[in-house]
Every structure is written in C-alpha cells, then in structure tokens.
Amino acid sequence: DSINPLNIQLNSDLFNFGLDTKTFKDIALVKKGRDIWIQPLGTGKLFKLEKSKSQYSLIRIDSTIHSGVNYKSFTFQLNDTLFQYGGAGFWQMRGIMTYFSPKTHEWELYPSNTIVNGYDDYTHFVKYKLDTEASKLYITKSLTYANMPKDFSINDIDSCYEFDFHKNTWTNLGATNPELIKVLQSSNYYNFNINDLLIFQNYLDYYWINFKKNEFGKISSTRNNIMKQPWLSLYTTKESYESLQFNLGSTVYLIKIIGGNKLSYASYSFDATELDQSTVQYVYKVENPIIQFIFNKVIPYFTPSVSITLLVAFGIFFIVYRQRKKRVPKEVTARLNYNFYHSLTVIEKELLQVLYQNHQKGESISTKIINKIIGVQNKDILTQNKSRSDHFLKINQKYKLSTQQPLPLIVKTRDSIDKRQYNYGLEPSYLVYLEKMIKSEKSLFDE
C-alpha cells in the first residue's frame, strides 16, 4: 500500500526491527505513501526504512542524545512533519507537543497555549483522532497525577480536547458524555481512523465517533455482523496469542501471532455510510441555548399534577413492557452457560474460580494473584497490565458470544484508595450459574 497513511504502536517483544530493546518497550511506526519511520518510544531516536534493490535497512536520521521522557507518547504525521504528543518518563507526565525538525535533526517543542496531559497505553484508554484536512487533533480525555510525589495515582479529566495546529491552541470542547465514558472503559486498545470517523470495538460491538459533528453511536447491526465475523474466526481460540489491528484506508486488518512468531490474519472492509442513526448521542457537552431554554423555561412550568400524570404513564408503560418482554427458558440459559464454560482455557477457568472464591469472602482479588495465574509475575508492569486486560477481555467476549447476555461477566472498577489499581469482580446476576459451573459442570442439567 503506497497511498494510505498509518500510525501504530508495536510491542518491541514482537517487532524489534533488529534494534537493541533494552531502553524501550514499544515502537511507533508511522507510514505516509512509501515512506516508513520507526521511533522507539522512550528515546529520541528516529529511523527511516530504506530499500536498496531487494534489501531493507533502517537509517537513523536524528542526532538526539536524550532518552526516557516520551514513553507511551502518541506519534503521528501531519502534512510532512512528524509529531509526538504526551507520554511519560522520569516520574513526569507530558502534556506538550513536539515535532521532528529536519534542520536540527532533533525533536523540538511545538508551541501551545497550555498543557494537556495524556499518553497512549493499554490501561488508560485515551482515544485520539487526527483530522488532517483541518489540521486538528482530538482526544477523549486528559490525565493527571493526583498525589505526586506521594504516589503515582492517576485521575481522569473527563473532557474532550481539540488542538488546532494553525493556532497552536488547546480548546476544552466540553465534558465527555458519561455514556461514552462507559463504552470507552470497556473498549479495546485499537482504533481505526476512517475519513471523519474514529472506529473502535467494545466486546463484539463496534462504535464510531465524529468529533466534528459531536456525535457517536453504534455501527449498523448488519455491518457490525460483517465486521465481527473475521474477528471471531481469527481470535476465538484456546491458544495464547498476541494481536495487532490497524486499517489502511477503509480496509481493516486483524493480525494474530502465536508461539514461534507464526502469523495469521483476516480483513474486512468498512462502509462509513452504515451507521445506526438511532443510537447517536453527543460526544461532549456544550452550552447550547436551546437546551438552556428547555431547562430554564420549560421544566419550571411542570406542575405537580403534570409530573404525577407523566410518572403514572411511565409506570404503566414499564409494567406492560416487562410483561411482554420475552424471557429465555432456564434450560436454554443453562445450556448456553455450559457451552461457555467448556470453551474456556485452563487459565481462564482458574481466574473465574479465584474471582468467585474472593467474591464469596467479600474480598477483592489482588493483582499479584492474577499475575501469578496468567504467568506474568516476573514481567514489567506494562506487560502485566496488558496481559490482565487481554485475559479478562477474552473471557467477557466469550461469555457474551456464548450466552448473548448484555452485561460483562467480569467487572473492572478503579480502587477507591489507590487510583492506579483496578479491582476485578463478578456481575452478581450471573453468580447462580457460575456457582453451578464451578462446583460441578454436570449439575447444570440435574434440575
């Protein structure tokens, strides 16, 4: 592909391009046309991929000597310039924009009116959207250290921001929609930038964000089914694997890498016209004169009698809806849960068992126990975070696929004391069947 641009973050354990990875963990790959740049995050080094006949080589084009300040930064190209936003290092979070200067061969500060912190990792999902036509960068939230230097707890600033490269200014667009925050918290890491849309996956559902129009929603059910089938065919497996997802134009590529660096892939095309307009909501809250009029002029005139009438009507509607709602027979639910439990790996079953035991005791499961179960207790923190997230995401995806239940089986909440940590628990409404599955897989059909 010599047309479509690409910027993606790669794990250096899988893709190191022959570089010494002692000082970095991730690599930013940026492509425009036929040109490809490699930037080891956490360093100032910048390499360009050059081809001579049938041989490829990395040519270092920078002259920087500093390192350790731009881990987890978001790297991209706008026009003909490479930019980096955010990142962290040396116990500091960055909220600045830098660019690579072809004159000095170093990363220089790109001026802005203020600092907006953020970084690109697998735990604190910040969604980025680059608008190359308007020369703007959109982000769904900002981050800040809450108690530095006491600890590393992180607070989310749930507002959407826009950076205008023409004006060198950050603008707070407004508070992020709480419904969008919920969707983002359980989404996966990968994003697909297609035209004006940012596409991302939440379990087996695909969502879109249009920052220009201040809208987000779901992909149409027809297109969603087309998109999820390649994902299910590639990733629904008991074997351990690493994944990589990206898009080139309107084509999305799904990569699976198993032991021995064996690679397989699937792909599908995305149609930007197939959006479910019935699910559209706002992305960020703005001061709208119409909304202000409704709240200030209309609502105050609601008399008690009108309010009571509306409540009664709503109550009748709710009762009728509940009566008409189809319930899944107990035998069918049991069979679906039975199929789900038998699709789990040994590690996934052990995770569920430990979660259930701790739930019965009213205790939270420690990350140390989880890390030991999944075998990453001796790995670095970033690898541990990603591995935990991947395992629980796979379990929830299998559960939704097998049972068609709307809520995730495993629920992730931020620790009330240490904001850096997440606690994992179980959805209470599913405990009856989970208890039967754990105690005796056959007991599901004894009643």
Give the residue with greater pLDDT, 105 vs 410: 105
**What would be the CATH architecture of the domain defined by 330-445?**
Orthogonal Bundle (1.10)
pTM score, whole prediction: 0.63
- Residue 163: the pLDDT is 95
> What would the two tokens of residue 362 be?
């009213």
Hey, which residues does 189 pair with through a beta bridge?
none
Query: What is the per-residue pLDDT across 75-114, written as a single tens digit (0 to 9) for each?
Result: 999 999 999 998 888 877 888 999 999 999 999 999 999 9
pLDDT at 208 over 90: yes
- Give just the sign of the alpha carbon dihedral 8, 140, 113, 155: negative
pLDDT digits (tens, 9 = 90+) for 214-264: 999 999 999 999 999 999 999 887 888 888 899 999 899 999 998 878 889
For residue 270, how many other CB atoms are within 10 A of its CB?
22
Looking at every residue in the chain, the average pLDDT score rounds to 82
Whose structure tokens read 């641009």? Answer: 5
Burial class (CB in 10 A: 0-12, 13-18, 19+), 319: exposed
DSSP for 359-380?
Answer: HHHT-PPPHHHHHHHHT-TTS-
List the domain boundaries for the chain.
289-324, 330-445
Separation of alpha carbons 425 and 442, rounded Å: 25
For residue 115, the tally of other CB atoms under 10 A from its CB is 14
**Phi/psi zone of residue 348: left (φ > 0), alpha (ψ -120 to 50 degrees), beta?**
alpha
Sole residue written with tokens 């950076």: 163
